[in-house]
Amino acid sequence: MATARIIRDLPLPGAVNMRRDTALLDAWRPGDPPILRLYRWRPYAVSYGFHQRSGDFDHAAIASRGWDLVQRPTGGRAILHAEELTYSVVGPSPSPLFGPSLHSCYMAINEPLVAFLRALGHEAEISGGEDRREQRQAVCFKSAGQHEIRIGGRKIVGSAQRRREGVFLQHGSILVGPRHADLLDCLPPRRRGGLDRDGLLAVTTDLGRLRGAPYQESEYADLEERLASAFAARLGLELVPVAWTELGLADQSA
């Protein structure tokens, strides 16, 4: 059976999380096993895509809440990383495991994500995409792009990818609670696209709302374990746990 390394980080500041994902992408070499990293954010953080601008956000509003603002190495639109599970995958593409193209790579990673949600009792589906007007909006979870995952027509997983020289980084957010909608408080009115908090919650869902009770802090470890198991089963991988210090990379915490 093929192997992959799995890193399960404690919650970290936004800049550290993005530096770690970037370091994994930079360090990967042909022949290395894929890497699955599971992590969270403390404090909460607003991240924005590679092609967005820092000036699109209300810095004072973000700072007043004690949250971070950080740019991702991938594309896509803004997310408030609050009550969520975050995953990242680094691996080869094209490859037998992830297929020959961007599309096949997204779909290969969607298999364990959908399996994870279905094991929790939720019938997930993969979005066919959005129109160009939606693509110009600032808020990631306002609509589901191609390859993203919905339940009952509402978006629950948002993912983005960066590819270069035969290696990719994909990371994504699985909504566990409704705090992602507080992102709108961090945007100037002109950047909200006419959306309010209730409107954003109407087009998204999260694991807590789906089961009818919020997830407690103590339950996140079980969700991570279930997610890791889905990756192993659907991709046919043996996951080998590694600590960040075992990778031979700089700590990235400074």
Contacts of 166 (CB under 8 A, 6+ apart): 30, 92, 93, 94
**Average pLDDT over all residues of the chain:** 91
Whether the predicted pLDDT of 129 surpasses 60: no
- Residue 5 CA to residue 215 CA, distance in Å, equals 27
Percentage of the chain modeled with pLDDT above 70: 91
What pLDDT was estimated at residue 139? 56
Higher pLDDT, 248 or 113: 113
Q: For every residue of 46-103, which 3-state class applies, written as one string?
A: EEECCCCCHHHCCHHHHHHCCCEEEECCCCCCEEEECCEEEEEEEEECCECCCECCHH
The radius of gyration of the chain from alpha carbons, rounded to an integer in Å, stands at: 17
* Owning domain of residue 104: 2-247
**Is 107 a member of any domain?**
yes
**Is 254 a member of any domain?**
no
Lowest mean pLDDT among 127-131, 177-181, 240-244: 127-131
Q: Which residues pair with 151 in a beta bridge?
A: 124, 154
Instruction: Report the CATH number that the domain containing residue 72 is assigned in CATH.
Output: 3.30.930.10
**Is 100 a member of any domain?**
yes
One-letter amino acid of 75 = G
Confidence of residue 140 (pLDDT cuts 50, 70, 90): low
Phi/psi at 111 (5° precision): -55, -55
Q: How many H helices and E strands in the chain?
A: 7, 11
Three-state DSSP state, 196: coil
Span 101-122, mean pLDDT?
96
**Is 15 a member of any domain?**
yes
Span 54-71, mean pLDDT?
96
- The answer to whether 142 and 194 have CB atoms below 8 angstroms apart is no
**Is 185 a member of any domain?**
yes
Number of structural domains, the chain?
Answer: 1
* Chain position carrying tokens 């909006």: 137
Percentage of the chain modeled with pLDDT above 90: 80
**Is 252 a member of any domain?**
no
Whether the predicted pLDDT of 142 surpasses 90: no
**Is 9 a member of any domain?**
yes
The strand ranges marked E within the chain are 2-8, 35-39, 45-48, 68-71, 79-81, 84-92, 124-126, 149-151, 154-164, 167-175, 237-241
Exposure of 57 in the CB half-sphere (CA atoms within 13 A): 26
Positions marked catalytic:
140
Closest CA to 229 of 113, 126, 124, 148: 113
Span 121-135, mean pLDDT?
70
Whether the predicted pLDDT of 56 surpasses 70: yes
Span 209-228, mean pLDDT?
98
**Is 52 a member of any domain?**
yes
Contacts of 26 (CB under 8 A, 6+ apart): none
Span 124-149, mean pLDDT?
62
